[in-house]
């Protein structure tokens, strides 16, 4: 019995197969290693979408399996770990199933499957889960930076798949963990799939919204402008250089000091935080004051999870399917959860005066009672000395400019009477501090005023104007009879370079280590490539596809025409792929074992025994053994060794430097020496 077990272990160790049959083929350590690497690469892009508890569990499972590549966990322990993970998923699910929970279940299945994977059939399931995980990452976005990582993941999973059939017998330990020829084959197969994928991408009918509904693509925890503002809220955005939008101007670009990108307008103040008012009706754009002052532009807006669409002050023609609200900000009915392109026209001069309803005027001077008494006393005194509203504005701005006020993105926290504390104690703040304090002071003077949030300035990045989250800004608007709404930016009185030259021009040093030199230029270069990616791929939507089909003479309303176009494109791509595959097969390198046999055959032919056209290698070498009896043993030994190496799963990975081929070469030389009638030994036996 013990001898049988020993033979079974030896067979399994040398061939990777189970002699009993029916349970699949055992995996080698290199195959398991590549499986684990593929699953890890497929999971990592989900780092911000999976629950916190998942990552330590996944790390422990994968590290343990990496430590024990050929030893799966006992079944009872797998059941125990699986039960704990299911319990954690149930707690995370809360009220019901959603996209995050579904992907957590899929990722957990992949990680837990590694605990019991030991056969090829288990590995096939694991690789399939890995490909599904790659696909689900696109549910959250299609940004260019994901592409290299996901291509690496797909290549790794494909390599692991091919290794299941081609990497069973490690003939040489130094090359057992990695087979370059298998990797080359995996990359070739992926390249052959590109034409079919391109045909499906271009011509397969696209939906107006994603197949999974209308997901909130706006990432959880991502900062951005909202419908409220409190001290420090915009200062937090100053550290965020992620793009907010990209702008293409139809004509000459206005000066940077005129680039006020209007966003949410805040009209309600509770003493600390400003809030937007929801309007249930829209208004007409203000009339055009000066035709020379109008600016047309296209905007590519990154998803921010809100309803507003930033436009240049002041909007004259709003984007399609959007509304101009009474406070002159533009919004759409749905949240901006995906990349959005729109066109607008603005005028860079103040519109003609609007009438202000009495009810709205009363709301725009409302303040919490008994709050900020020092500011009230100051404004009361100044109003007595300066009754004209415009003169009062100038006096406040001069005070900001000449006193010890500091513009900083790290202001001290404020509590209680925040305006009093800011104006008379800290005197340090960011744009929202100055806009809030100025608006409160004007309301105390009985002047209708509100806070406008959005972006100011931007950066010229070659083919487009780049506006980042760090360009977020807040300013004030006041309404004067006969003048209408006037923009007043208190920041310009404290840090004029902020408005003239951009968000970071007033700083003497960088905010972080990547604010300097080539790293900053690299960021801009990557964003330029991302802009091209968005234009050509990410923004290929239903309307773009319709225009492409029209240029090809196909009506997308005709299903038959669409079906023939798709079938023809796929068939053409498939034929090109088959042609490339056939050509590559013809150009495939002859295995070294075959080269050795051909050299032997050529020498034996010269010695008087050519190979017949119908003879295979084994039949021919048997005839050699009968023709030269003294060389019979060598001929049969060469035949056995040749067949073992020539038809092995990884025959193409062997080279002349490997010992199995050296032994085959030595056997061929010995055979020729015996056939020639010499008994001299051949030098250089690798054994």
pLDDT (tens digit, 9 = 90+) per residue, 574-588?
676 666 666 555 445
* Single residue among 464, 488, 517 that ends a domain in this structure: 517
167 and 263 together in one domain: no
Q: What is the pLDDT of residues 37-61, one digit of tens each?
A: 999 999 999 888 888 899 999 999 9
Work out the pLDDT band at 176, boundaries 50, 70, 90.
Answer: low
Contact 14, 6 (CB under 8 A): no
Structure confidence at residue 399 (pLDDT): 94
Q: Could you tell me if 346 and 286 lie in one domain?
A: yes
Q: By mean pLDDT, which of 35-44, 79-88, 143-152, 363-372 is the weakest? A: 143-152
| Order of all β-strands in the sheet with 340-347 | 315-317, 340-347, 294-301, 243-249, 465-468, 459-460
In the chain, helix, strand, coil percent, each to 5? 50, 10, 35
Quick one: which of 270, 278, 262 has its CA closest to 231? 270
Distance from C-alpha of 53 to C-alpha of 60, rounded to nearest angstrom: 12
Q: Specify whether 502 is located in the same domain as 406.
A: yes
Are residues 483 and 356 both part of a single domain? yes
Average pLDDT of 518-531? 83
Least confident stretch, 325-339, 386-400, 502-516: 502-516
List, in order, residues 6 or more apart from 317 with CB less than 8 Å away: 285, 344, 345
Q: Is the Cβ–Cβ distance between 153 and 42 less than 8 Å?
A: yes
Residue 596: the pLDDT is 86
User: What residues contact 263, with CB distance under 8 A and at least 6 apart?
Assistant: 225, 308, 310, 329, 452, 453, 454, 455
Q: Are residues 335 and 447 in the same domain?
A: yes
* High-pLDDT (> 90) share of the chain, %: 32
Residue 347: partners with Cβ closer than 8 Å, 6 or more residues away: 288, 289, 290, 293, 294, 295, 314, 316
Q: Is the pLDDT of residue 9 over 90?
A: no
Helix (H, G, I), strand (E, B), or coil: what is residue 333? coil
What's residue 476's pLDDT? 96
More confident residue, 367 or 409: 367
- Which structure tokens are listed for 514? 């990547």
Domain count, the chain: 3
In a domain, 63, yes or no: yes
Q: Is residue 534 part of a domain?
A: no
- Please indicate, yes or no, if residue 208 is contained in any of the structural domains: no
Do 233 and 174 lie in one domain? The reply is no
Beta bridge partners of 342: 299
Q: Select from 517, 539, 557 the last residue of a domain.
A: 517
Check residue 69 and give its pLDDT.
76
CA distances from 231 to 388, 416, 506, 532 (A): 29, 12, 20, 37
Rounded CA gap, 490 and 435, in Å?
6
Q: Can you give the pLDDT at residue 328?
A: 92
Would you say residue 128 has pLDDT above 90?
A: yes
Closest CA to 502 of 486, 515, 488, 487: 515
pLDDT, residue 219, reads: 44
Residue 252 near residue 296, CB atoms below 8 Å: no
* 502 pLDDT more than 60: yes
Per-residue model confidence (pLDDT) at position 2: 42
Query: Per the domain annotation, does 349 fall within a domain?
Result: yes
Tell me what the mean pLDDT of segment 73-96 comes to: 82
- Band of the pLDDT at 95, cuts 50, 70, 90? low
Q: Is 137 left (phi over 0), alpha (psi -120 to 50) or beta?
A: alpha
3 state DSSP class of 235: helix
577-616 in b/e form (b: 16+ CB < 10 A) is: beeeeeeeeeeeeebbbeebbeebbeebeeeeeebeeeee
Give the model's pLDDT for residue 297: 95
The pLDDT confidence band at residue 508, using thresholds 50, 70 and 90, is low
Place of tokens 């000091």: 257
| 146 plus 248 within the same structural domain | no
Active-site positions read 431, 473, 489
For residues 273 and 146, state if they share a domain: no
Gyration radius of the chain's alpha carbons: 37
Reported as a single tens digit per residue, the pLDDT across 614-653 is: 888 889 888 888 888 888 888 888 888 888 887 776 666 6
Sign of CA dihedral 524, 525, 526, 531: positive
245 and 365 in a single domain? The answer is yes
Measured distance CA(231)–CA(439) in Å, rounded = 14
Same domain membership, residue 486 and residue 393? yes
* Residue 59 included in any domain: yes
**CB 431, CB 408: distance < 8 Å:** no
DSSP secondary structure letter of residue 470 = G
Asked, for residue 153, whether it belongs to a domain, the answer is: yes
Q: In this structure, how many other beta carbons lie within 10 angstroms of the beta carbon of residue 61?
A: 21
Full domain range(s) for residue 654: 592-675
Residue 566 predicted with pLDDT over 90? no
In a domain, 630, yes or no: yes
Give residue 71's pLDDT: 74
Average pLDDT, the chain: 82
Residue 91 confidence (pLDDT): 84
CB 256 within 8 A of CB 502: yes
Q: Using the 3D structure, point to which of 485, 517, 549 is the last residue of a domain.
A: 517
Do 290 and 364 lie in a common domain?
Answer: yes
- Is residue 207 a part of any domain in this protein? no
Q: How far is CA 596 from CA 475, 556, 645, 659, in A?
A: 82, 60, 11, 14
For residue 294, the SS3 value is: strand
CA-CA distance, 315 to 296, in Å (whole number)? 10
Give residues with Cβ within 8 angstroms of 361, minimum separation 6.
448, 479
Overall average pLDDT of the 463-481 stretch: 93
User: 437 or 569, which is more confident?
Assistant: 437
User: 146 and 256 share a domain?
Assistant: no
Give bridge partners of residue 473 from the DSSP assignment. Answer: 454
Locate tokens 């042609």: which residue?
579
Distance of CA 1 to the CA centre of its chain: 57
């Amino acid at each position: 019995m013990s001898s049988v077990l020993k033979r079974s272990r030896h067979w399994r160790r040398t061939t990777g197969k189970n002699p009993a049959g029916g349970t699949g083929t055992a995996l080698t350590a290199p195959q398991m290693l590549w499986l684990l690497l593929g699953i890890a690469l497929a999971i990592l892009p989900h780092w911000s979408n999976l629950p916190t508890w998942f990552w330590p569990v996944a790390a422990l499972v994968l590290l343990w399996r990496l430590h024990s590549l050929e030893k799966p966990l006992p079944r009872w322990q797998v059941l125990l770990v699986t039960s704990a993970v299911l319990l954690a998923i149930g707690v995370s699910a809360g009220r019901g199933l959603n996209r995050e929970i579904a992907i957590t279940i899929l990722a957990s299945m992949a990680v837990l499957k590694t605990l019991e994977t030991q056969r090829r059939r288990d590995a096939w399931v694991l690789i399939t889960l890995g490909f599904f995980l790659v696909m689900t990452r696109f549910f959250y976005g299609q940004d260019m930076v994901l592409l290299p990582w996901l291509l690496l993941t797909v290549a790794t999973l494909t390599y692991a798949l091919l290794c299941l059939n081609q990497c069973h017998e490690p003939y040489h330990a130094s090359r057992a963990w990695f087979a370059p020829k298998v990797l080359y084959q995996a990359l070739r197969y992926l390249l052959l799939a590109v034409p079919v994928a391109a045909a499906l991408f271009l011509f397969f009918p696209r939906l107006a919204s994603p197949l999974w509904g209308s997901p909130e693509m706006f990432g959880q925890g991502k900062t951005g402008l909202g419908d409220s503002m409190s001290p420090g809220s915009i200062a937090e955005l100053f550290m965020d250089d992620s793009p907010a939008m990209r702008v293409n101007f139809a004509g000459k670009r206005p000066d940077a000091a005129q680039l006020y990108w209007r966003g949410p307008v805040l009209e309600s103040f509770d003493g600390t935080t400003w809030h937007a008012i929801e309007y249930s009706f829209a208004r007409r754009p203000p009339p055009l004051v000066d035709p020379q002052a109008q600016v047309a532009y296209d905007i590519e807006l990154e998803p921010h999870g809100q309803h507003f669409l930033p436009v240049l002050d002041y909007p004259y023609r709003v984007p399609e399917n959007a509304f101009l609200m009474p406070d002159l900000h533009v919004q759409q009915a749905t949240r901006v959860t995906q990349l959005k392109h729109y066109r607008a026209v603005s005028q860079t001069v103040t519109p003609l005066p609007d009438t202000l309803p009495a009810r709205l005027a009363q709301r725009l001077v409302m303040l919490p009672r008994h709050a900020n008494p020092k500011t009230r006393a100051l404004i009361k005194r100044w109003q007595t000395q300066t009754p004209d509203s415009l003169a009062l504005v100038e006096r406040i701005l001069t005070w900001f400019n000449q006193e010890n006020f500091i513009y900083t993105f790290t202001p001290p926290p404020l509590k209680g009477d925040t305006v009093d504390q800011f104006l008379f104690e800290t005197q340090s703040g960011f744009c929202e501090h100055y806009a809030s304090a100025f608006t409160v002071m004007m309301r105390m003077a009985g002047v209708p005023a509100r806070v406008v949030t959005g972006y100011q300035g931007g950066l010229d990045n070659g083919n487009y104007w780049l506006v980042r989250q760090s360009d977020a800004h807040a300013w004030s608007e006041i309404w004067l009879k006969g003048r209408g709404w006037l923009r007043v930016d208190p920041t310009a009185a404290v840090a004029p370079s902020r408005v003239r030259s951009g968000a970071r021009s007033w700083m003497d040093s960088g905010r972080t280590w990547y604010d300097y030199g080539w790293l900053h230029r690299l960021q801009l270069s990557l964003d330029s490539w991302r802009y091209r990616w968005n234009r050509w791929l990410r923004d290929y939507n239903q309307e773009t596809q319709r225009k492409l089909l029209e240029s090809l003479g196909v009506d997308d309303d005709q299903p038959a025409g669409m079906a023939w176009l798709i079938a023809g494109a796929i068939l053409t791509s498939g034929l090109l792929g088959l042609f490339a595959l056939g050509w590559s097969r013809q150009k495939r390198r002859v295995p070294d074992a075959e080269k050795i046999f051909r050299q032997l055959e050529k020498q034996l032919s010269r010695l008087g025994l050519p190979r017949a056209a119908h003879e295979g290698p084994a039949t021919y070498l048997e005839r050699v053994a009968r023709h030269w009896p003294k060389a019979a043993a060598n001929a049969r030994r060469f035949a056995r060794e040749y067949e073992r190496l020539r038809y092995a799963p990884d025959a193409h990975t062997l080279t002349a430097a490997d010992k199995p081929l050296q032994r085959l070469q030595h056997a061929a030389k010995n055979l020729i020496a015996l056939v020639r009638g010499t008994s001299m030994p051949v030098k250089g036996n690798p054994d």
